[in-house]
Amino acid sequence: MNHRGGWALVRSTWLSWMQHRSFFFVLAFGWMIPPLVYLLVWSTAAGSQAINGFTRGEFVAYYLVLILVNQLTYAQTNWTVGDVIREGKISQMLLYPMSPLYNTLSSEFAGKVVYMTFAVPVTAVLAVLLHPELHTTPGHVLAFIPALIFAWALRFFWGYWLALLAFWATRADALLAVQDTLVFLLAGQVAPTLLLPGALRGLANVLPFRYMVGFPVEVLTGQLNGSALWVGFAAQVGWLMIAVLLYKWMWRTGLRRYSAIGG
């Protein structure tokens, strides 16, 4: 492993991305809209009376946190992995004395910094305008940090192994769009998981998508306590391990196929 080269890559990627801030701000704006729509709809719906225990202010807090968590965990680099393979640019990456994972990770980190310089101020302004009510404790904040990191890693590796299907099929990235939609539906964006009807809630708890976005938001907004918290963490880490194993396996077999048939 070449960590020094990796860090140099992160820095250079970040600097070059900051050159095109406006482009990435526009992307970040686009990602922000869907949760914002549901923020406005739910907070309007809860305008007069609480819905299932959620007050208007709590909806606002929930969705503002979700906007940030969503941008922090969204693995935009998954989309480029497929392109790199299809266009044969991966050959060049394989020449570097460093795992191509670093290339992707450097874009990830650089991207997060750039998106946050847009998303944090915008969320702050929204918070001033919309008066959120955030009921959280130091314990919840403490639990939120690992939940967020695991959520990012899970979403990243899950998308990565899907993107690696590009070794076998052109346009495998359509599956990433499917994943985005599933996350939208099952990871607490359409509605907080607690409000989903029974069968759908069961599905959301079993599948990995809730643990990519919704779970850390629920942790920070204090919706989960005691055993619910621990079960959530267990599911998150379990899915993360599966995602990493899938990634490793796909990478190895994919590369073997690539070197066998050429770009």
Partner 1 sequence: MAQPIITVRQLSKTYRVPERDAGLLASIKSLARRTYNDVQAVRDINFSLEAGEIVGFIGPNGAGKTTTLKMLCGLLHPTSGEAEVAGYIPWQRSGVYLRRISMVMGNKSQMMWDIPPLDTFRVLGEIYHVPAAEFKQTLDELVELLDMGELLTRPVRNLSLGERMKCEMVAALIHRPSVLFLDEPTLGLDVSTQRRLRRFVADYNRRRGATVILTSHYMADVVELCPRVILIHQGSLLYDGALSGLVERLAPFKLIRLTLNQEQAPTIDGHLPPNVEVLERENGRLVLRAGRAETPAITSRLLDTLPVVDLVVEDPPIEAVIDQIYQEAKV
Partner 2 sequence: MRYHLKLIGLFIRASAQQELAYRANFLISLLHSLLNFGTGLLGLLVLFEQVEAIRGWDFASTLAVLGVYLTVGAVRDLFIGPSLDALTGINGDIWAGRLDFTLMRPVDIQFWSSFRQWRLLAVFDLALGAGVLAKAIFELGAAVTASHLITFLILLGSGMITFYAVQLAFTGLMFWNPGMLFSWVFNGIFQMARYPVRLYPGGLRLALTWIVPVGVITTLPAQALTGDVPALTLVGSLFLAAALFTGASLLFRTGLRRYASASS
- Scanning 1-9, 142-150, 165-173, 204-212 for contacts with partner 2 by CB under 8 A, the matching segment is 165-173
Q: 54 has which bridge partners?
A: 51
Of the pair 26, 234, the CB lying nearest partner 2 is at 26
Binding flags for partner 1, 52-91, as an x/- string (CB under 8 A): ----------------------------------------
Q: Is 25 in the site for partner 1 (CB under 8 A)?
A: yes
Helix axes 3-19, 100-130, angle to 10 degrees: 50
User: Quick count: other Cβ atoms within 10 Å of Cβ 257?
Assistant: 11
For residue 126, the partner it binds in partner 1, partner 2, none, with Cβ less than 5 to 8 A by kind, is none
Q: Which of 2, 12, 15, 21 binds partner 1 (CB under 8 A)?
A: 21
Question: Two tokens at 87?
Answer: 């266009």
Restricted to residues 128-167, the positions that interact with partner 1 (CB under 8 A) are none
5, 8, 14, 41: residue in contact with partner 2 (rule CB under 8 A): 41
Calculate Rg over the CA atoms of the chain: 19
- The interface partner of residue 196, options being partner 2, partner 1, none and the CB cut-off 5 to 8 Å by kind, is partner 2
Dist CA 142 CA 23 (whole Å):
34
Which of these segments, 15-23, 151-159, 176-184, 195-203, binds partner 1 (CB under 8 A)?
15-23
Of 38, 115, 152, 211, the one binding partner 2 by CB under 8 A: 38
Torsion, Cα of 41, 179, 155, 164 (10° steps): -160
Class of residue 68 by CB neighbours under 10 A (exposed 0-12, middle 13-18, buried 19+): buried
Is 22 among the residues that bind partner 1 (CB under 8 A)?
A: yes
Alpha helices by DSSP H, the chain: 3-19, 21-45, 56-73, 78-86, 90-95, 100-130, 138-163, 174-186, 198-206, 214-220, 227-261
Phi, psi of 207 (to 5 degrees): -75, 160
Q: Are 75 and 160 in contact (CB under 8 A)?
A: yes
Q: Which of 42, 150, 152, 209 binds partner 2 (CB under 8 A)?
A: 42
Specify whether the backbone of 188 is left (phi greater than 0), alpha (psi in -120 to 50) or beta: left
Q: Does 34 bind partner 2 (CB under 8 A)?
A: yes
Using CB under 8 A as the binding criterion, the count of chain residues that bind partner 1 stands at: 5
Min CB(172)–partner 1 separation in Å = 16
Should residue 16 be labelled a site residue for partner 2 when binding is judged by CB under 8 A?
A: no
Residues 198/191, Cβ–Cβ less than 8 Å: no
Rounded Cα distance between 113 and 18, Å, is 9
Residues numbered 189-218 forming contacts with partner 2, rule: CB under 8 A: 190-191, 195-197, 200
Give me the residues that bind partner 1 (CB under 8 A), please.
19-22, 25
Give me the residues that bind partner 2 (CB under 8 A), please.
20, 22-23, 26-27, 29-30, 32-34, 37-38, 40-42, 44-45, 51-52, 169-172, 174-175, 177-178, 181-182, 184-185, 190-191, 195-197, 200
